[in-house]
Amino acid sequence: MKTAAGKRAGTRAGGPAGHVGHGRDQVLAALREALKASGGDVELVYIGQDCGTTRFAASGIHQNMSEHGMSVSARVAAGKKLGVASTNSLAKADLAAVIKQAREIAGAARPLPEFSGFPGPQDYGPAPHPDLAVVEQTPEQRADALKPLFATAAKSKTELHGALIARTSRIAVANTEGLSAWHEGTVADAQFIAMDPGGGGSGYAAGAEPRWAAMDLPTLAETAIRKCVQSRKPKDLDPGTYEVILEPAAVAEIFSWLPWIAFTGRSVEDGQSFLKDKFGQMVATDAVTIYDDGLDSEGIPLPIDFEGRPKKSVYFVDRGVAREVAHDVVSAAKAKARPTGHAPFPGMGLTAMPLNLFVAPGMSSVEEMIAQTTRGVLVTRFHYLNGLLNPPVALFTGMTRDGAFWVEDGKVRYPIKNMRFTQSIARALHGAELVGRDRVITPNTWSPFGSACVPGMKFREWTFSSKTDF
């Protein structure tokens, strides 16, 4: 059989299951050539992704995927009227066709009053280079990394479920005003759930890093296994309001919602944000600092937004005080604020997209949080959170999962059956007593970009509204 892999212009050599993504020079050259022939007022946004995902269940790999994809979106302005069209080809004719289509769409559109044109050339901050160990990661390497961990689980009579992911993401933005931007980033991502075969205990541990070598898979797997063993034979706990210690995964699940419901210019404009009318006021204890920073190398950096503007750090809550929200150009114009480099993906409507969420670290370990708890619940992670119940008070509901424990007089006493919580985060932040010193990165499951880098936290009051039988 003839194979075209490797013959494709600009593709890189890879193993039999290695990646075949586009390189910087090839992408930017194709975009610039298309722009030259475009007739002006055009922006092109390239998104590319190579992703190797190995999923496992009951200590065996059952899904194993090698995915290579890209898209180019053309945004064309006809005065203040905008049109967007996308293709997943870099071919000259396809780019010309998609620009033409976007121009036709713009012609039929209505003016967007706040649109002030595409930005010119920008200066960008430093971003780390992609990690070759992630870029060149193979499914064989992932299988070989997992096999001994399955054996470790078997020794504790548990089974491992989860996923091991190596992802390379690329973004390029170029426009007819001379802007030209590129970023290539990598992430290694591991999730382990240890479960007793046939039910019983379950435990969870996860982590992600821009570099493969920074991942400690054995420790993650052993943590999940230990949690599983500790969570066997859980007891009932009556619903009520208790102290709560949220491990980093639980904090990430909640705080990943906050940018969308509370930390954008649009959410303030609509009255949905719990920060509205509270800027300059305390909205949390002074232990809490929440910010977005696309350049912070403690997370998964993304230094540019989808218009090619450089990302600025935005402190939503600074030592307890509400400070500012993220803006794209349109929401900034409406709010008379500065654009913060959070323009959304073309065609996804108009609301800023904060994709690099951080909670500043504190001084405590989880063990120290437990030692300072009189009557409370230690939560490993949550399942199926929802933060749309009542956004102005950031009311959330969700279930505990994979390890919840009763803590009394400074010690973990016993595992408890899973509980549903219903809690206003706006109120809980006023009782944020301790913030962990160790942060964990949680990548966005639904997009090639975005992550939360957060520590564990202890809250004075947390309402558990119902319980389960498991």
Partner 1 sequence: MKPVLQEIVSHLKRRKVDYADARFVDAEDETIAARNGVLEANSRSRSRGIGVRVLWKGSWGFAATDNLADLGVADRALAVAQATHRASATPARLADVQPVKASWKTPCQVDPFKVPLSKKIALLAAVSEGLHKGKRIVSGNASYTAYRTKKIFASTEGALIEQEITECGAGAVAVAAGNGTVQSRSYPNSHRGDFVTGGWEHIEAMRMQDHVERVRDEAEQLLDAPDLPEGTYDLILWGPQLALQVHESCGHPIEADRVLGTEQSLAGGSFLQPDKLGKFKYGSGYVTISLDGTIPGGLGSYGYDDEGVPTARGPVIDGGVFVGYLTSRETAARLKLKPNGAMRADSWSRIPLIRMMNISLEPGNWEADELLADSDGAILLDINKSWSIDDRRLNFQFGCEAAWQLKGGRRAKLFRNPIYSGMTPQFWGSCDAVCSKAHWRVWGVPNCGKGVPGQTARVGHGAAPSRFRGIKMGASK
Q: Which is nearer to partner 1, 375 or 383 (CB)?
A: 383
C-alpha to C-alpha distances, 33 to 96, 118, 228, 236, 272, nearest whole angstrom: 10, 18, 56, 66, 43
Q: How far is the CB of 366 from partner 1 (least distance, A)?
A: 23
Q: How far is the CB of 112 from partner 1 (least distance, A)?
A: 6
Instruction: Tell me which amino acid residue 439 is.
Output: R
Q: Which is nearer to partner 1, 169 or 364 (CB)?
A: 169
**Both tokens assigned to 318:** 């600074």
Strands, E, within 176-318: which ranges? 180-195, 202-209, 240-246, 290-292, 314-318
* Separation between Cα atoms, residue 458 and residue 470, nearest integer Å: 24
Answer for the pair 331, 350: CB distance below 8 angstroms, yes or no: yes
Q: Which is nearer to partner 1, 75 or 458 (CB)?
A: 75
* Separation between Cα atoms, residue 53 and residue 165, nearest integer Å: 4
Q: Which is nearer to partner 1, 2 or 126 (CB)?
A: 2
* Separation between Cα atoms, residue 410 and residue 373, nearest integer Å: 5
Answer for the pair 149, 219: CB distance below 8 angstroms, yes or no: no
Q: Which is nearer to partner 1, 88 or 374 (CB)?
A: 88
3-state helix, strand, coil in the chain (%, to 5): 25, 40, 40
Q: How far is the CB of 405 from partner 1 (least distance, A)?
A: 17
Q: How far is the CB of 51 from partner 1 (least distance, A)?
A: 6
Q: Which is nearer to partner 1, 391 or 455 (CB)?
A: 391
Q: How far is the CB of 379 from partner 1 (least distance, A)?
A: 14
Enumerate residues 6+ apart whose C-beta is below 8 A from 92.
Answer: 30, 33, 34
Sign of the C-alpha dihedral, residues 61, 63, 66, 68? negative
* Separation between Cα atoms, residue 407 and residue 359, nearest integer Å: 24
Q: How far is the CB of 401 from partner 1 (least distance, A)?
A: 6
Q: Which is nearer to partner 1, 58 or 132 (CB)?
A: 58
Q: How far is the CB of 247 from partner 1 (least distance, A)?
A: 17
* Separation between Cα atoms, residue 255 and residue 267, nearest integer Å: 15
Q: Which is nearer to partner 1, 89 or 122 (CB)?
A: 89
Q: Which alpha helices (DSSP H) does 235-344 contain, by range?
A: 248-255, 258-261, 265-269, 329-335
Q: Which is nearer to partner 1, 231 or 289 (CB)?
A: 231
Q: How far is the CB of 20 from partner 1 (least distance, A)?
A: 7
Q: Which is nearer to partner 1, 62 or 413 (CB)?
A: 62
* Separation between Cα atoms, residue 255 and residue 235, nearest integer Å: 28
Q: How far is the CB of 362 from partner 1 (least distance, A)?
A: 29
Return the number of other C-beta atoms located less than 10 Å from residue 272's C-beta: 18
Q: How far is the CB of 434 from partner 1 (least distance, A)?
A: 27
Q: How far is the CB of 410 from partner 1 (least distance, A)?
A: 29
Strands, E, within 331-470: which ranges? 356-359, 375-390, 395-408, 411-415, 419-424, 432-443, 451-467
Helix (H, G, I), strand (E, B) or coil at 29: helix
**Both tokens assigned to 325:** 């929200």
Q: Which is nearer to partner 1, 372 or 444 (CB)?
A: 444
